[in-house]
Structure 1
C-alpha cells in the first residue's frame, strides 16, 4: 500500500513539473510571437525614402535592415509606389503613418482640392466657409444630397491636404520670375571690375520706435490685453557693402529739434539726422546723403557701385565716385538684399534694447505699467538704440544676404586675390633664382 502511494506521489510530481514547463513554454512562445508580430508603421517620408532607395538599385532585404522593418513590408510599399508618390505630391502631411481612408466622397474631395490649388495659385484668400460653400456646390452638381460639408468634413479635408490658416503678406506674389532670372544673370557683369568693398546696397524702412511686440507669454485662460499701439515712426536708411562694412545710419524724424535734443548738437549724433513733416525719405534728403557719401569715397580715392530701389525719392543723378544701379521696378521683395534679413536683424536687436530699458524703468517704479514705460521712449533714445543695434548686426549676416541674391561671394574674390598674390610671389622668387644662377656663371 505504501509502495503504491509512493508511486502515485512520484507520478503527481512529474505531471506537475511537466505542466509547469508546458505553461512556461507557451508563455515564452506567446511573447516571442507578440514580439515578432509587432509591425513598425512608416511615415509618408519614410515610404518615399524606401522608393528612392529601391530606385537606386538597393534590394528589399537591405532596405528592410536600413528602415528597421520586415522585407514583406518593403515589397508592399514598392508595389504601391504610384499611390505613395501621389500622396506625397498631393501635399499630404509627411508625418502621416496610415493610408488615407476612403470616405465615400472622394469625387467631391478631389474637385475641392483642385479648386483650392487653382485659386490659391492666383492669390485669392480662402477661408473655411468659402471651402464648405464650394464643396456644397460640387455636391449639388454631382446630385449628392447626403453630403453636408460639416465642420468635421472641413477639418478632415484640411488635415488630409496639410492645409493651415495663415496671413497673406509681402509683395513677392506680384514679382515676375522672368525679370528676377534675367537680373540674376546680368548681376555678375554689372559687378565686374569692382572689389567687394566697393559694391554697396542701401534701403529704407519704417520704425515705430515706441511700439513693442504684440505677442507675449501668458497664463492660459487669463486676459492678455495690452495698451494702445503708438503710430509714431522714424524712417531709417541703411547702407552696407559686400564685405560686411556698414555705413552710418540715416534717420528721418518729424521734428528738427525735438525736446530730447536740448543742449545736444545733432551733428554729434552717431547717425545722420534729418526731419520733415511726414518723416519720409525725400529726393533732397537722399541727394544730400549721396553727395556726402560720394565725397567720402573721393577722399579715399575709390569708385563704388550702389544698388538701390527704383523709387521716386531716389533721383537719377551721376555723382563723381558712385555709380547708381537701380533694381527693376516692383522687385524689391525678391531682389533687395536688405529685405532678406538685414533690416529684420537690426529691428530685433532694437526691440531687445527697448524691452531691457522698459524692464529697468518698471523695476525702479513698481507702480508703472508696460504701456506707461513705452510712452516714455524718446527720439534720442531710439537713435542710440538704432546705432548700437546696427553695430551689432554681424558682417556675416550682411554678406550672406547679398550672396543669397546672386552677388559674388566675398570669400571667392578674396581667394582669387590670394591666388594671384601667390603666383606673383612665386614668379618673383623663380626670377630672382634665375638671376643669381646667371650671375654665378
Structure 2
C-alpha cells in the first residue's frame, strides 16, 4: 500500500470487530445495568460478567462506578428500557413533575387557561412541599423552575401550546359575537334544536360528605388513603330541545374496581371507561363518538323522523381533539372560542350544578333508606360499605332528576334567538330549593350540624384547586388499585341469578303484594302500587318462564338412565320386556318374570 494510510482503517484490538471501518456501539438499557450491578454486589469477577453479558470490561467498570446514580434513576421512575442515562434527577423533582401533571389535568377539566407563570409557581410550591417532607431537606437540591426546565417538562409530558398559553380570562366580547355566528350556521345548514348537542366533563368526588359531619371527621382521623379524595370524571350531554339526555360516561382510574366485579359493563346505566388518573382523554372521547353516541344519534333521528345530521358543540379542551369532527360525515363539530366556556357552554350554565346537587340529595336519601337515621353506628357502617357501584347508581338517578326544562334553559346564552320564548323553570330558583332539601335530609340522617354553607362547600369542592397532598393521594390511587386489577380481571365472571333463587324471590314478592292488598283499606292506592311493582317485575317473570320452558325441552331429549345389576350386568328394557345376555364368565342368566325363585338359575 506504499506509504498511504487509509483513515477509515485503524488497528484492530483483541476481541474487537471492525465493520466498514467503524465500530458499532451497543446500547445498554437501564435494566441491563441493574443486572450488572447485582452481579458486582454478589462479588462476581469482572471478566466473568463480561463473558456472561458480552459487555466490555471497561464498560462494566464504568457501570460499577456509577451504581448509585443508576439506582437513583431507577427509583426516580426512569423506564427500565431506557438506553441512555444522561444524568440522575432528584426523586423529588420526578415526583413534583408527576403531581404537576395531575394538577394540569385538573385545570383542563375546569377549562381554566394556564400560563408559564402559573405553572412555574405551582411547580415551586409542590417542590418546596416535597423538600420539606424529605428526611434531610438540606440534601435536596434547589429548584428554580427555569425556562429550560419548562421546555424539557413540556416535551416529557407532551403538553400542547394551547395548554401553556397566556392566563385565561373570560372573553366577553367574543362571547357576544359567537352566538350570532352559531345562529347563522344553524339556519344555513338547517339544524333543529333536536339535532344540536353539547357534551361536557366534570370532576366528581363520589364519596364526600360535609366536613363538619362525623363521617368526615372520622375519616380525617383514620390513617391511610382518604376515600373522600377519590374522584372520577363524569361526561354529561343533551340536545338543545332537552328531548334527548345522553347516557352519562364515567371515567375512573381503575379499570376493574372490586365493587364492579361480576357486572356486565353494558348494564351499569353509564358508559364506564378508565384512564390512569380518572380523567377524559382524547382517545376515550373519540371512541365514545364512534362506538356509542353515533348510533344513539342515528336512532334518535330515525325515531323523530329527522335527517341524520348532528351539530355537536364542544369547548376546545385537549380531551376534545380537533379531529373529532372528521370521525363521521353526519356529525359536525363546532368548537367554542377560547375563554368563553364559563359564559357560553350550555352544560356549565346550570345543568352540571343541578346534577351535583341532585347527586348529594340522592346520597342523603340512600343513607336514610339504609339506616335508622339517628343511629350513628348504622350510618357509619353503611358509609363504610358505600362503593363505586353505589355511586354509579346514584349518578344515573341524579342525571335522571335533571329536568327537560333545565336542559333547555341552559342554552339561552348560546342560542338566545331560539330559546328566547322559553317559559320553563328558573335555575336561580331551582338550585337553592335542591340545596335546602339536602340540608333537611342531612338533619334527618343525624347530621344536625349541617347548614347551608356546608352543602355549598361540598358542591364547590368538585372544582377546588388540588393541594400538594391531594395530588399525592390521587397519584397513590392508581398504585393502590394496580396490584389487584389483574386478578380482578381474570376472576370477573358474570354474576348468575339461578332459576331457583329467581323463583323464590318472585314468590316472596307476590306474597308481600297480596299482604299489602289485603290490609290496605284504600283499594285504589294499593292497586296502583301493586300493578306498578308487577309491571317492573315483568322482565324477571318472562326470564323465569323462558328458563322453565327451556328446562322442559331439555328433559324431553334427556336419555333414560340405565340401571346396573349387582353383578355389573346391564338390563336394557324395550317395551317392558327384558333382554337377557349370556355371561360366559359367570354362567348365570338373570331371572325371568315367570321365575318365582330368589336365586339366579345356572345354565343347563
TM-score, with normalisation over the residues of structure 2?
0.37
